[in-house]
Structure 1
């Protein structure tokens, strides 16, 4: 399941404080396994049901960076979108994401520096009403002046 707004680019000239975009994705066991393969993070809390039952999470959880990757997808595909360059990202992991959870990743414009083409974004992921990841991103936004 992937639910999001149209992809593309919003140039810095068209950005406004408060603009927001999101995507929603169900995190599957296959997603977790593929992330483990790509990242080489094979911590058994992500992959081994029996091991994970004996942890503080009492079951398997997704890699925190898998959820953070959904934030990157919103930034790179929607807001600002294609041509955006990530400059930095802070993250705070608040709660686990489990196989089958539907994660909503959203970004909101909080500051715009037109002279330097920099945009600050509030970033967060939720599962239902629970915030699972929150942070802030700084990006270099695309501009019509450089097309």
Structure 2
């Protein structure tokens, strides 16, 4: 699903073309909050760019900020399929992805030395595995990811 975004973000020419087609800019939308400049109020929440692969293309399609992840202390396969299903009676959708991601060490290397065009936040979660079910072990797992994910804006 994200492979097109990865491709478009990889090359300067594809980023520029994408930005020309999709980016919208208007000074009335710009805000400075707690010293952070937002070009617009439209952001991408955690859950879409789980592995921080799309940071180059997100500004070009118009996002003013993004939340990456959720990122866990260890690699996580996520839950077994099916991960989405409908509940017809209540007209709802059950989302059961289970935090599939590459883990904090790999993702932190991917983000290292990057210059971000928009403010980036990182959602951290405990690894979805039987070893982190107990509260104390879950806390240790959170703290495993925490130091890897500091990037100045």
Q: Shorter-chain TM-score category? A: under 0.3
TM-score by length of 2: 0.25
User: Per chain length, whose mean CA-contact separation is higher, i.e. which structure has more relative contact order (CA < 8 Å, sep 6+)?
Assistant: 1
| Bigger Cα Rg | 2
Which protein has the bigger strand share? 1
Which protein has the bigger helix share? 2
TM-score by length of 1: 0.26
